[in-house]
């Protein structure tokens, strides 16, 4: 099923017909929603546990975060970058195991959709900030070097990218904080302690500090532009590591998805 | 007439620092200096052009060094010592003067080659001179010619395209940095011709505020009025930079006026709000290293040229073409000038009469075959006597020494009356 999306996204990449692209993305968003619902009915729990499910859910969040953003602001050709990211995500999801594992008892709680859902959605906003950051860096490089290549006319203005960065960061950061708090409450219930320095928790905290520093600097010292874009990229790298790197490389009690 | 010459004296952005140009006595207004010029002994026609980049005086005057000296004195006033004048002043005579004036009108001599503002300024200067009754047949012709040369260059070469596209490019770049230009502030440093053009483009894009900073406040005020803006002095530059989003610099300063170390603390107070510097001055006003600061974007005139992808060789080619047109027109004007003097006019007049006599004689004599050679000769004699008697008065009118001052007028009149108009 997800394979259909790839095809659609790929065409979208090729075509610059905007409205069509937007409609395909919207359809893709709806289809993803249906897919997640379908999976929910199939498994009987919120599908954010296995690697495949997480990525699909992540892609779904990115899609809807983008669409909600798109509804309020216009950032030229942002969709193209987002759909490239989505394409990669869904490709990963297709590669990951589709098997449905029985839910471990620790996860059988209504905290699962709340904690995991909020966290992944916050990551989705960070992903938007990341895409915006990459676009900013590309555009800024062209403007500084005064050599205008392929991207110059296709990329939006620096100011709109910077705004995107600030909005995504603010939304993402609030959600990230909520994600950590709910996780901590759930941990108290499941493992008996709010915080136990599990690698995943530690890395979430590192990510949180990275973003906190960035937000603080932006609003107090006026960090904007290139520095903010670089920070968004670094922050997102940390997000990715928290999401997958920790599970595969460091393990810990938090690693459920195999 | 041969004793009269066209004389052009001036200072411009290439020869004279702004600080000196601003102290020139003729810097303000037209009426007074024109009046003063007219009263210089030996000066028959005069004209004055005063823009922010140049002050030029063209006179038609009797050949003597005293006139040059008097005009220079008038131009510089008391601000510059006579010994120093040589460093700044350029003097062109006759052909060279015509050539230079055409170079100016076609904007080949401008800071930004190809900008169109200069033609308007030239026309305005001419209007002032005409109203003050300072121009005569030579300058009328010369200035009108300079306008048509400018138009010819504009239509036959691409030289104007680059100047327009530069300000267009500046707007496009600004849009890539700021998105929309609404609610953005523009700061003009120096009130140059090109800055005006670029500012015009920006204001057309909805820029909210224009501030003009200039050494002389009165000029800044003139320009600011055009854009409903405010004028400040250069001392306030740094505080103005804190609020400006787009800065266009075009002063004629010989050195860099804004260094990296000056702008760095300003970026801090601006909380890193992006700022776009456009340096269209030659030589540069702004430190090229400004571009290394984050959120500072600096483009100089060459960068803008690169943006519009008019490479230098193509531009040079257009300039060469334009220069050829100027040379051509200078030559044509020279021919006309030569025609203006008395002797060639008399020659032309006699030649015309002779030609007519010859043609008529041939036609008549061919029908009167029976005439003897002597009779034929008598008729030929009569024809030439009639023509030379007819010509006697116009010729002596031309040669009349008593009203030599009006030679040009007389020559023009006779040439027109006898159909000796040149083909041009």
Q: In the prediction, which pLDDT does B98 show?
A: 92
pLDDT at B102: 92
pLDDT, mean over chain B: 82
- Taking the Cβ of residue A157 and every Cβ of chain B, the question of whether any pair is shorter than 8 Å is answered with yes
Which chain B residues are Cβ-neighbours of A160 within 8 angstroms?
A: 179
Q: How confident is the model at residue B164 (pLDDT cuts 50, 70, 90)?
A: low
* β-strand pairing of B209-214 with B246-249: unpaired
- Contact at CB, A144 and B272, closer than 8 angstroms: no
Q: Given pLDDT bands bounded at 50, 70 and 90, which one contains residue B99?
A: very high
Strand partners for B186: B210, B246
Q: List pLDDT tens digits, range B29-65.
A: 778 888 888 888 778 888 888 877 788 889 888 777 7
Collect all residues of chain A within an 8 Å Cβ-Cβ radius of residue B177: 143, 157-159
Chain A interface mutation, best of B174, B178, B295, highest count of A Cβ atoms under 10 Å: B295
Q: What pLDDT does A113 receive?
A: 77
Residue B424 has pLDDT above 50, yes or no: no
| Per-residue pLDDT at A250 exceeds 90 | no
Q: What's the pTM?
A: 0.64
In the numeric block, which tokens belong to residue B308? 């519009």
B270 touches chain A (CB under 8 A): yes
User: How close does chain A come to B306, measured CA to CA in Å?
Assistant: 8
Identify the residue among A225, A227, A229 best suited for mutation to test binding to B, counting B beta carbons within 10 A and taking the highest: A225
Asked if the model's pLDDT at residue A82 lies above 90, the reply is: no
Q: Which of B177, B271, B291 sits opposite A158 (nearest CB)?
A: B177
Taking contacts as CB-CB distances below 8 angstroms, the residues of chain A near B294 are 225-227
- Give mean pLDDT, residues B345-370: 87
Q: What is the mean pLDDT of the segment spanning B204-210?
A: 83
Q: Please identify every residue of B annotated as catalytic.
A: 52
Instruction: Determine the distance in angstroms separating the CA of B10 from the nearest CA of chain A, rounded to an integer.
Output: 37
Whether B2 has a pLDDT exceeding 50, the answer reads no
The predicted pLDDT at position B294 comes to: 85
Please give the domain boundaries of chain B with CATH numbers for all domains: 4-157 (3.30.460.30), 162-307 (3.40.50.720)
CB contact under 8 A, A222 and B294: no
A226: chain B residues, CB-CB within 8 Å: 294-295
Q: Is the pLDDT reported for residue B414 higher than 50?
A: yes
- Position A138 scores a pLDDT of 85
Lowest mean per-residue pLDDT among B39-43, B95-99, B251-255, B295-299:
B251-255
Residue with the larger pLDDT of the pair B211 and A81: B211
The reply to whether A212 touches chain B by the CB within 8 Å rule is: no
Q: In this complex, how many residue pairs, one in chain A and one in chain B, have their CB atoms less than 8 Å apart?
A: 47
Residue B66 confidence (pLDDT) above 90: no
Please tell me which residue of chain B has the smallest CA distance to A221.
B271
Q: For residue B99, with 0-12 CB atoms within 10 Å meaning exposed, 13-18 middle and 19 or more buried, which class applies?
A: buried
Q: Which residue ranges make up each domain of chain A?
A: 2-98+107-250
Q: How far is A227 from chain B (nearest CA, A)?
A: 8
B-chain residue closest to A223, CA distance: B272
Q: Does B176 touch chain A (CB under 8 A)?
A: yes
Q: What pLDDT was estimated at residue B156?
A: 86
Q: Which residues of B fall within a CB distance of 8 Å from A139?
A: 176
A227 CB near a chain B CB, below 8 Å? yes
The answer to whether the CB atoms of A143 and B178 lie below 8 A apart is no
Q: Say what the pLDDT of residue B423 is.
A: 47
Count of Cβ atoms closer than 10 Å to residue A9 Cβ:
23
For tokens 């350029």, what's the residue? B90
Closest-CA residue of B relative to A146 is B303
Q: Which residue is closest to B291 within chain A, CA to CA? A: A144
Q: B311 vs A249, which has greater pLDDT? A: A249
At CA B366, angle to CA B360 and CA B371, rounded to 5? 105
Rounded average pLDDT over B369-380: 87
CB contact under 8 A, B272 and A222: yes
C-alpha–C-alpha distance, residues A92 and A50, integer Å: 13
**Residue B175 contacts A, CB cutoff 8 Å:** yes
Residue A214 forms contact with B (CB below 8 Å): no
> Residue B213: beta bridge partners?
B189, B232
pLDDT > 90 in chain B, percent: 8
Burial class (CB in 10 A: 0-12, 13-18, 19+), B29: exposed
- CB-based contact (8 Å) between B264 and chain A? no
Question: Is the preceding peptide bond at B180 cis, omega within 30 degrees of 0?
Answer: no
Structure confidence at residue A216 (pLDDT): 86
In this complex, is the C-beta atom of B308 within 8 Å of any C-beta atom belonging to chain A? no
Question: Hey, are the CB atoms on B178 and A225 less than 8 Å from each other?
Answer: no
Q: Is it the case that residue A8 has pLDDT exceeding 80? A: no
Interacting residues of B401 by C-beta distance below 8 A, sequence separation 6+ = none
Measured between CA atoms, the residue of chain B closest to residue A76 is B179
| Residue in this structure with the two tokens 């510059």, named with its chain if needed | B80
Per-residue pLDDT at B250? 83
Minimum-distance CB partner of A222 among B271, B297, B299: B271
A122-150, pLDDT tens digit by residue?
888 888 888 888 888 888 888 888 777 66
B130-157: average pLDDT: 88
What whole-number distance in Å separates Cα of residue B280 and Cα of residue B190?
10
Closest residue to A223, CB basis, from B270, B272, B274? B272
The CA–CA distances, whole Å, from B104 to B29, B86, B149 equal 20, 21, 10
CB proximity B291 to A under 8 Å: yes
- Predicted confidence at residue B405, as pLDDT, reads 61
Residues 22-61 of B with CB under 8 A from A: none
Chain B CB within 8 Å of residue A224 CB: yes
- Chain B residues within 8 A of A222 when measuring between CB atoms: 270-273
Q: Which of A1-5, A176-180, A191-195 has the lowest mean pLDDT?
A: A1-5
Q: What is the pLDDT of residues A23-73, one digit of tens each?
A: 777 777 777 777 777 777 777 666 666 777 778 788 888 888 887 777 666
The sign of the CA dihedral B384, B389, B394, B395 is positive
pLDDT reading at A257 higher than 50? no
Average pLDDT value for residue range B186-194: 80
Q: Do the chains contact at A224 and B295, CB–CB below 8 Å?
A: yes
Q: What pLDDT is recorded for position B198? A: 77
Chain A residues close to B272, C-beta within 8 Å: 222-225
CB contact B177 to A (< 8 Å): yes
A225 touches chain B (CB under 8 A): yes
Asked if the Cβ–Cβ distance from B176 to A225 is below 8 Å, we say no
């Amino acid at each position: 099923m997800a394979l259909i999306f790839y095809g659609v996204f790929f065409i979208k990449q090729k075509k610059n017909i905007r409205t069509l692209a937007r409609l395909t993305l919207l359809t893709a968003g709806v289809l993803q929603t249906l897919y997640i619902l379908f999976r929910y009915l199939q498994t009987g729990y919120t599908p954010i546990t296995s690697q495949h499910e997480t990525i699909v859910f992540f892609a779904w969040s990115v899609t809807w975060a983008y669409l909600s953003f798109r509804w309020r602001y216009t950032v030229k050709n942002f969709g193209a970058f987002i759909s490239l990211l989505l394409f990669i995500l869904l490709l990963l999801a297709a590669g990951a195991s589709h098997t449905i594992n029985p839910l471990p008892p620790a996860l059988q709680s209504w905290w699962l959709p709340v904690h995991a859902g909020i966290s992944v959605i916050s990551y989705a906003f960070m992903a938007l900030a990341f895409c915006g950051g990459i676009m900013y860096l590309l555009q800024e490089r062209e403007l500084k070097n005064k050599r205008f290549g392929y991207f110059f006319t296709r990329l939006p203005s620096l100011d709109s990218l910077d705004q995107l960065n600030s909005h995504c960061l603010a939304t993402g950061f609030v959600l990230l904080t909520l994600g950590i708090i709910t996780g901590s409450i759930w941990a108290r219930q499941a493992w008996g302690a709010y915080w136990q320095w599990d690698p995943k928790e530690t890395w979430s905290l590192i990510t949180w500090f990275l973003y906190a520093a960035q937000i603080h600097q932006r609003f107090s010292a006026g960090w904007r532009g290139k520095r903010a874009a670089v920070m968004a990229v670094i922050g997102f790298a940390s997000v990715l590591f928290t999401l997958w790197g920790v599970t595969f490389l460091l393990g810990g009690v938090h690693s459920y998805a195999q | 007439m041969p004793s009269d010459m066209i004389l052009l004296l001036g200072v411009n952005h290439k020869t004279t620092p702004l600080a000196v140009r601003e102290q020139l006595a003729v810097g303000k207004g037209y009426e007074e200096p024109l009046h003063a010029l007219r009263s210089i002994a030996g000066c028959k026609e005069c004209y004055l052009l005063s823009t922010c980049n140049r002050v030029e005086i063209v006179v038609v005057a009797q050949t003597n060094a005293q006139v040059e000296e008097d005009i220079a004195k008038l131009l510089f006033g008391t601000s510059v010592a006579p010994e120093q004048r040589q460093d700044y002043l350029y003097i062109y005579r006759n052909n060279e003067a015509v050539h230079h004036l055409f170079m100016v009108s076609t904007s080949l001599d401008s800071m930004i080659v190809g900008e169109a503002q200069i033609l308007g300024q030239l026309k305005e200067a001419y209007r002032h001179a005409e109203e003050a009754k300072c121009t005569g047949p030579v300058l009328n012709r010369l200035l009108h010619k300079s306008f048509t040369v400018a138009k010819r260059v504009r239509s036959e070469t691409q030289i104007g395209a680059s100047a327009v596209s530069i300000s267009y490019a500046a707007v496009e770049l600004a849009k890539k940095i700021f998105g929309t230009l609404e609610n953005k502030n523009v700061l003009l440093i120096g009130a140059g011709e090109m800055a005006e053009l670029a500012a015009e483009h920006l204001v057309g894009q909805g820029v909210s505020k224009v501030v003009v900073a200039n050494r002389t406040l009165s000029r800044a005020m003139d320009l600011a009025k055009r854009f409903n803006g405010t004028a400040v002095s250069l001392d306030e530059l740094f505080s103005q930079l804190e609020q400006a989003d787009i800065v266009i610099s075009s002063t004629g300063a010989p050195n860099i006026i804004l260094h990296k170390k000056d702008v760095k603390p300003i970026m801090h107070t601006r909380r890193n709000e992006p700022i776009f510097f456009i340096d269209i001055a030659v030589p540069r006003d702004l430190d090229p290293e400004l571009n290394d600061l984050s959120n500072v974007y600096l483009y100089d005139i060459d960068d803008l040229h690169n943006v519009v992808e008019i490479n230098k060789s193509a531009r040079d080619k257009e300039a060469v073409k334009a220069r050829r047109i100027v040379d051509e027109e200078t030559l044509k004007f020279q021919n006309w000038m030569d025609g203006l003097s008395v002797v060639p006019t008399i020659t032309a007049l006699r030649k015309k009469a002779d030609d007519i006599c010859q043609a008529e004689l041939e036609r008549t004599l061919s029908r009167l075959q029976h005439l003897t050679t002597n009779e034929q000769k008598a008729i030929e004699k009569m024809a030439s006597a009639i023509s030379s008697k007819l010509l006697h008065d116009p010729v002596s009118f031309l040669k009349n020494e008593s009203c030599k001052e009006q030679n040009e007028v007389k020559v023009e009149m006779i040439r027109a009356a006898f159909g000796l108009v040149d083909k041009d």
